[in-house]
Amino acid sequence: MPAPVIKTVNLTKRYGTLVALSNLNLEINEGDCFGFIGPNGAGKTTTIKILATLLQPTWGEARICDLVVGYQSRMIRPLIGYVPDYFGAYEDMVVQEYLEFFAAAYNINGPARNKVVNDVLELTDLAYKRDAAVDGLSRGMKQRLSIARVLVHDPKVLLLDEPAGNLDPRARIEMRELLKELRRMGKTILISSHILPELADLCNTVGIIEQGELKYSGPVADIVRRARMGTVLHVGVADNQAQAAALLAQDPKLEVNNNNGFIEVGIKDDEIKDYSFIPQRLIGAGFRLTLLKEEEVNLETAFMRLTKGLVQ
């Protein structure tokens, strides 16, 4: 079985008494798109910076393509592309010059440089902006340019820290489609984001981190399944919602919460598969039913259930 492309063993980062990352054990296989999820201050950026060879861990080990971060960082850097959550200022440069500068940094010269710059401009849909000033680009275009920059040397691994942060809806859609194309090209991608529905659409595996500790890691479907807590129904009535909730709460088999707009009804007994008695009871008591559906557990609801919302 081949070694994981990204692997950490008890990876820990401390700043004095503050533990930013605690014994992180993570494996990402070739071709995976791994979504790294967690509140602000959870340790996502710290992890990515260590993998990008920009931070030294306090202890533990991180490997990229079986090379050890810190000891073989010079060999790792050509294999990775790191996109931080901000765009550095490059005044008095146009898009093509910007990409040529970074291609030159990787010793890509002559006709090969022209070809690779043209290729990444086409891939990121920025060819029509090749003569535009970098400083005048929109945030969405700057984010696409950041990805174009890290593709000039054709890295095997992409480390993306909030690439869709603060983008408008159209720019987020364009970013998602670009990342899907990069995955189809065989890139191994680690991406942190707060936009959970888009991660579910993009990633095949995710990890949830909180207070520097990895809580869950694995396929999206497995994490969603783990978060499911029996059958939960959303029930709506035309009026007198509080009274309807009080009626259902009399049943010891039900856990009832009166939410804004609907009643959340949890069925405590896993053996109960037929919940038709709930609408029958409400209708029999004179309530007019407007909503009855099982709660859909997606990546967003899984994250809310599997974390306590704590930050450092």
Report the CATH number that the domain containing residue 74 is assigned in CATH: 3.40.50.300
Same domain, 255 and 144: no
Predicted pLDDT of residue 61: 96
- DSSP letter at 4? P
Same domain, 99 and 14: yes
Predicted pLDDT of residue 1: 61
In a domain, 23, yes or no: yes
Same domain, 171 and 240: no
Task: Please give the C-alpha separations between residue 311 and each of 19, 134, 166, in angstroms, as whole numbers.
Answer: 12, 35, 21
Domain-ending residue, one of 202, 225, 248: 225
In a domain, 178, yes or no: yes
Using DSSP bridges, classify how beta strands 80-83 and 59-64 pair: parallel, antiparallel or unpaired. unpaired
> What domain range includes position 64?
6-225
d(CA 246, CA 20): 45
Same domain, 21 and 148: yes
Domain-ending residue, one of 199, 225, 251: 225
Predicted pLDDT of residue 145: 94
Same domain, 202 and 250: no
In a domain, 73, yes or no: yes
**What's the structural domain count of the chain?**
2
Same domain, 60 and 195: yes
Predicted pLDDT of residue 131: 95
pLDDT tens digit at each of 312 positions of the chain: 667 999 999 999 999 999 999 999 999 999 999 999 888 888 999 999 999 999 999 999 999 999 999 999 999 999 999 999 887 767 789 999 999 999 999 999 999 999 999 999 999 999 999 999 998 998 889 989 999 999 999 999 999 998 877 777 888 888 888 999 999 999 999 999 776 777 777 889 999 898 899 988 888 877 777 666 667 889 999 989 999 999 999 999 898 988 778 998 888 776 777 889 999 999 999 999 999 998 776 677 777 766 654 444
Predicted pLDDT of residue 298: 67
Strand order in the sheet with 59-64: 18-28, 6-15, 59-64, 67-68
CATH number, domain containing residue 259: 3.30.70.100
d(CA 174, CA 49): 25
Same domain, 14 and 144: yes
Same domain, 71 and 122: yes
Same domain, 151 and 81: yes
Q: Where are the alpha helices (DSSP H) in 71-194?
A: 73-76, 95-105, 110-123, 139-151, 169-184
Same domain, 73 and 199: yes
Predicted pLDDT of residue 219: 86
In a domain, 201, yes or no: yes
In a domain, 129, yes or no: yes
In a domain, 309, yes or no: no
In a domain, 141, yes or no: yes
Same domain, 150 and 250: no
d(CA 222, CA 271): 22
Q: What are the backbone dihedrals phi and psi of residue 210, each rounded to the nearest 5 degrees, phi first? A: -145, 130
Same domain, 34 and 116: yes
In a domain, 307, yes or no: no
